[in-house]
Amino acid sequence: MALSETEVLDCLKTNLRLAAQSCDKLAVLPRKGPTYRQLRDQLRLVEGACRQVAYFRGGDARWLRIGLFMAEVHKRAGDWLRGTKRPDGSRTKIAPGHMHPLFVKLAENLRAAYGKAEELRTHATNRIGPILPKPGAPPHRDTAPVGWNRSSGGLLVPARVNGAG
Question: DSSP characters for 33-54?
Answer: HHHHHHHHHHHHHHHHHHHHHH
Confidence of residue 63 (pLDDT cuts 50, 70, 90): confident
Secondary structure letter of residue 145 according to DSSP: P
**Fold classification of 5-85+98-122 (topology level):** Four Helix Bundle (Hemerythrin (Met), subunit A) (1.20.120)
Residue 79 has pLDDT above 70, yes or no: yes
3-class DSSP state of 91: strand
Which amino acid is residue 63, in one-letter code?
W
Say whether 64 sits in a helix, a strand or coil: helix
Amino acid at 113: A
State how far the Cα of 34 lies from the Cα of 21, in Å rounded to an integer: 13
DSSP conformational letter for 144: P
pLDDT level of residue 154 (50, 70, 90 thresholds): low
Q: What's the whole-number mean pLDDT along residues 27-43?
A: 87
Whether 123 has a pLDDT exceeding 60, the answer reads yes
Q: Identify the sign of the CA torsion 58, 115, 13, 41.
A: positive
| Predicted TM-score (pTM) of this structure | 0.69
Share of the chain above pLDDT 70, in %: 72
Please determine, for residue 129, whether its predicted confidence score (pLDDT) is greater than 60. Answer: yes
Q: Would you give the distance in Å from CA 95 to the centre of its chain?
A: 29
pLDDT at residue 5 in the model = 85
Q: SS3 for 85?
A: strand
Q: Quote the pLDDT of residue 153.
A: 61
pLDDT value, residue 15: 95
Q: What is the mean pLDDT of residues 3-30?
A: 91
